[in-house]
Structure 1
Amino acid sequence: MKFFSAFLCCLLPLAFAANVAADTGVSSRTEPADLAQRHQALESLGQALFFDTSLSYNRSQSCASCHDPARGFADPGVNTQAGAVSLGDDGHSLGDRNAPSVTYAAFTPEFHRDSEGRLVGGQFWDGRASSLEDQAKGPPLNPIEMGLPDVATLRARLQENPFYVSRITELFGEAGLASDEAAFDAMASSIAAYERSDAVSPFDSRYDRYLRGEYRMTEQEDLGRTLFFSQQFTNCNQCHQLRQSAIAADETFSNYQYHNIGVPVNTAVRAASGMASDALDGGLLNNPQVNDEHERGKFRTPGLRNVAVTGPYMHNGVFSELETVVRFYNSYNSKSAANKINPETGQPWGTPEVAQNLSLKELESGPALDNKRIAALVAFLKTLTDQRYEPLLK
């Protein structure tokens, strides 16, 4: 995959520059004539940067290495350890969190407190990057990810590429590469533009086609849809519904609030990384803007689009199967001994990594689900898969 990414990165700049010249009849160094053309140029630059392995210290890793567009913009598994967390550019460094999908991340609001004082939004699991631009600046300089030592090195890597020099100068002026910070900002703005593009968030799943009258759900999918949006039969929509209407065309299936749902430690990841199994991920408390102990162990509610093809699940990738996730939620309400067992391990569900601040009000608000309803919910969640990823569905 890395070979393909590097190869594609080489092709994209050349192809794009040629297309601009051919389509517009202007020099590739001419400022785009209108805003739409400029925006297209910015997206294409961002796409090239997204695939560029030269933005990592050893030139072995790009954004796409951990957010593969062919796999729902999530880690394809080739680059993971213990099936859940990504290897760094150095070939041995590991984090403790699963790489989330980039699809529909553009719809996450900036990190803020809402009218009721709740923390909402932000990129990364703990919201520490307020915007897509802030998020794009994180991995290149993270020593356990892409590993560049400083912004000056990143600027030098950009200046190695004549296409980047030409395109950044067109889009950001001579100041775009005049300083390290300006170059850093130009890179981040370009990648964010690509991540906001329709190519990343097309809204063309079976669910979207159903809303447009272009697809008829199966009986099982429709039951799952009814259960999902019901306030009587499940608690799904308390956290995984953004719009008030159940037929909103731009539903992203998250309210972007923060909760501790009692996810257990991923012991396989801890064993692979050498981190102590009893170490605690503070979640939202790791965000430098947060210092309230009541936020410890909380993570941002992820959107559910493409959820069926972007496992493993939870902030630490502890669950491999989507059905396991539904059964984990169900364990809070079911009294059945069978529902107290993790189907992937055959053992009782692990204890919460962080035992305080559990969102029990939300977790315990729904009734227990039988196997038919669990299967229906999983079937509905599969309808949220973008059309190009439908072949990946089991």
Structure 2
Amino acid sequence: MAVQLGGSAMNQQGARAVPSLRYVLNRTPVWTKTYVDSAAERMLEANESPYGGFGWDGRFNLLHQQAAFPLMAGNEMANADPKDLVQKIARASYAKEFRSHFGENIFNTPQLAYEKALAAIEDFELNDPSFHPYSSRFDAYLDGKAVLNAQEQRGLKLFDDPLRGNCASCHTDKKGADGSHPLLTTFQFEALGVPRNPEIKYNAAAHYSDMGLCGPLRKDMARDTQYCGMFKTPSLRNVASRGAFFHNGRFHTLQDALRFYVQRDTDAQRWYPRGKSGVIKFDDLPPSLRENIDTIDLPLTKHANEAPVWNDQEIDDVIAFLKTLNDADVIPTRPDVATTSSP
């Protein structure tokens, strides 16, 4: 597997797969969590997942905040501080355009120039058509301008079936009441129990765990341990073009990602390591937090040796449907290429 490295010497690895920014920008709600002050409300809250925000852990509410993270992260672009970044912009081929847009003397005030650079990134992400082209065959199908073939239709049915894949409960695929096309995400957070990824260097340390909403990158939720292991549900648009799946990039083919999803509990030994007492399920979280993993929503309610909700042919059918979500300009990523960097 090829890993995309960053840092000042281009030799630093991150701990998470790079999430897509397409589509989820101008319709992503701000981070929201229900706060409770009674036992009755606490019971109700158990059925309400947090949602919104940018990044796998939703810790950014504004796009310019999200943009600042990779610019300053030591294992990504590794700028020392805003002034360092501004000096690089001042030497860049587009410096003249930057001055023309923000003022001839903009670089004399590094903090202002930094803020303008982040605002420019945010404006580009929100308004450039390339970030939300809605040019997939599925978009054309929703508008009655294309048809799905028999295999794609079977895949869509399996995707929607609440008693089988139940995918649409988190990756809604219906038009909105206003006719808007779906983003294939509810922006909610879910604890799926994805296996630990040995390709991530941080995971060599037994004490290290990426716990999503409660750390290590997000700090404000550290005490809310009931949310440990939760990561934001990504959009499935262009998912068939990716080379790394789930927050830690544990799987590198769509087939394996879907097999894990439907066989996590029916064939756990296929996905998790074995210890002295048997298979160690949900091994990427400390034992005390493994009860947070979803075992109440289909198909995550299955048990060992039961038949999974999809067989291999049905997985192929679902993949055929997922390929219809690729935008017209998307070139599929080679299955041996993954990225582990970014928030």
Q: How would you bin the TM-score normalised by the shorter chain? A: 0.7 to 0.9
Cα offset, 1:365, TM superposition: 5.4
Structure-1 residue corresponding to 2:21: 102
Within-5 A mapping of 1:248-259: 249-259=180-190
Instruction: After superposition, give the CA deviation of every residue in 1:29-87 in whole Å (9 maximum; x if it has no partner).
Output: xxxxxxxxxxxxxxxxxxxxxxxxxxxxxxxxxxxxxxxxxxxxxxxxxxxxx545533
Give TM-score scaled by structure 2 length: 0.77
Identity of aligned residues (%): 28
Structure 2 CA distance for partners of 1:274 and 1:257, relative to 1, 3 Å:
closer
1:189 aligns with 2:119: yes
Report the equivalent of 2:323: 382
Residue by residue over 1:223-260, the C-alpha shift from the partner in whole angstroms, topping out at 9 and shown as x without a partner, is 11122123233221121127675996421111111111
Amino acid corresponding to residue 233 of structure 1 in structure 2: R
Distance 1:391 1:128 in 2: 29
Q: What letter matches 2:114 in structure 1?
A: F
1:327-348 Cα shifts (integer Å, max 9, x gaps): 1111146x4x5x8535xxxxx8
8 Å Cα contact 2:194-2:282 kept in structure 1: yes
Unaligned runs of 5+ in 1: 1-81, 343-347
Question: Do the aligned partners of residues 284 and 250 (structure 1) sit closer, same or farther apart at CA in structure 2, a change above 3 Å counting?
Answer: same
Structure 1 pair 83–244 and aligned structure 2 pair: CA distance change class (3 A) = same
Structure with the largest fraction of helix: 1
Look up the match of 1:311: 243
Correspondences of 1:320-335 after superposition (within 5 Å): 320-332=252-264, 335=266
- With normalisation by structure 1, the TM-score equals 0.68
Q: Is 1:224 aligned with 2:147?
A: no
Q: 2:310 aligns with which of 369, 376, 380?
A: 369
Does structure 2 retain, via aligned residues, the 8 Å contact 1:111–1:131?
no
Question: Match for 1:122 among 53, 56, 73?
Answer: 53
**Structure 1 residue aligned with 2:211:** 282
Q: CA deviation at 1:392?
A: 5.9
What displacement does 1:322 show? Answer: 0.5
| Cα distance between partner residues in 2 of 1:349 and 1:376 | 31
Task: State the one-letter code of the partner of 2:117.
Answer: M
- Report the residue type matching 1:385 in the other structure: N
What secondary structure is seen at the aligned counterpart in 2 of 1:284?
coil
The alpha-carbon distance between structure 1 residues 176 and 118, as it changes in their structure 2 partners (threshold 3 A), is: farther
Give yes or no for contact 1:125–1:300 (8 Å, CA) kept in 2.
yes
Is 1:87 aligned with 2:6? Answer: yes
Question: What is the aligned partner in structure 2 of residue 111 from structure 1?
Answer: 31
Asked whether 1:358 is paired with 2:293, we answer yes
Sort the Cα spacing of 1:169 and 1:89 in 2 relative to 1 into closer, same or farther, 3 A: same
Check if 1:299 corresponds to 2:231: yes
Query: CA-to-partner distance for each residue in 1:71-125, whole Å, 9 max, x for gaps?
Result: xxxxxxxxxxx54553334222111111122222313323223696642122221
Instruction: State the AA in 1 paired with 2:195.
Output: P
2:120 aligns to what SS in structure 1? Answer: helix
| 1:203 and 2:144 aligned | no
- Segments of 5+ residues of structure 2 without an aligned counterpart are 36-44, 272-278, 303-307, 336-343
Provide the residue aligned with 2:341 in structure 1. Answer: none
Distance 1:265 1:376, change over 3 A: same
> In 2, Cα distance between the equivalents of 1:384 and 1:349?
35
- Residue 288 of structure 1 aligns to a residue in which SS? coil
* Farther off after superposition, 137-146 or 191-200: 191-200
How far residue 195 of structure 1 moved from its aligned partner, in angstroms, is 1.9
Contact in 2 for aligned 1:84/1:97 (Cα 8 Å): no
1:242 and 1:215 mapped to 2: Cα distance?
16
Larger relative contact order (CA 8 Å, sep ≥ 6) = 2
- In structure 2, the residue matched to 1:153 is 84
Secondary structure of the residue aligned to 2:330 is helix
Give the Cα–Cα distance (whole angstroms) in 1 for the partners of residues 166 and 138 of structure 2. Answer: 20
Deviations 1:277-314 (A, max 9, x none): 55211211122332311111111111101101112111
| Matches of 1:88 and 1:151, distance apart in 2 | 16
SS in 2 for 1:119: coil
How has the CA–CA distance of structure 1 residues 359 and 274 changed in structure 2, closer, same or farther, with 3 Å as cutoff? closer
Task: Classify 1:324/1:248 alpha carbon distance in 2 versus 1 (closer, same or farther; 3 Å).
Answer: farther
Aligned length: 303
The CA distance in 2 between the partners of 1:99 and 1:332, in whole Å, is 23
Q: 1:181 to 1:110 in 2, by over 3 A?
A: farther
Paired letter, 1:370: N
Give the residue type in structure 1 aligned to 2:316. A
1-structure distance, mates of 2:253, 2:145: 29
Give the letter for the 2:52 counterpart.
Answer: G
Query: What per-residue deviation string (whole Å, max 9, x for no partner) do you get for residues 321-368 of structure 1?
Result: 1011111111146x4x5x8535xxxxx896431224112222525872
Aligned-residue CA RMSD (Å): 3.1
